[in-house]
């Protein structure tokens, strides 16, 4: 049985897959956006943007 982390409402297995936050807690639809998330979105954004990108030059040099 899966419960919401805030209100302890019962959730189905399908809802547990949909309403899992990046902080790895499961919430009902009412509390998914209104919780104190501990996930560091700024660090995730920096990590995503610091990936090396490979691109081809548009104009070949002579």
Q: Is residue 29 part of a domain?
A: yes
Q: Is residue 62 part of a domain?
A: no
Cα dihedral 34→12→23→49 (10° resolution): -100
Handedness of CA 60, 56, 51, 33 (dihedral sign): positive
- How many domains, in total, are found in the chain? 1
3-53: per-residue pLDDT in tens? 998 899 999 888 888 888 988 899 998 888 888 888 888 998 888 888 777
Q: Three-state SS for 26? A: strand
pLDDT of 54 higher than 80: no
Residue 54 lies in a domain: no
Asked if residue 58 is part of any domain, the answer here is no
What's the pLDDT at 48? 85
Confirm whether 23 is domain-assigned. yes
Let me know if residue 56 belongs to a domain: no
Query: Is 39 inside a domain boundary?
Result: yes
pLDDT confidence of residue 3: 92
Which pLDDT belongs to residue 19?
86
Say what the pLDDT of residue 8 is. 92
């Amino acid at each position: 049985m899966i419960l919401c982390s805030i209100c302890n409402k019962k959730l189905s297995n399908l809802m547990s897959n949909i309403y899992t936050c990046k902080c790895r807690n499961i919430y009902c639809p009412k509390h998914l956006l209104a919780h104190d998330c501990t996930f560091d979105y700024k660090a995730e954004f920096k990590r995503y943007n610091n990936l090396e990108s490979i691109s081809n030059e548009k104009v070949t040099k002579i």
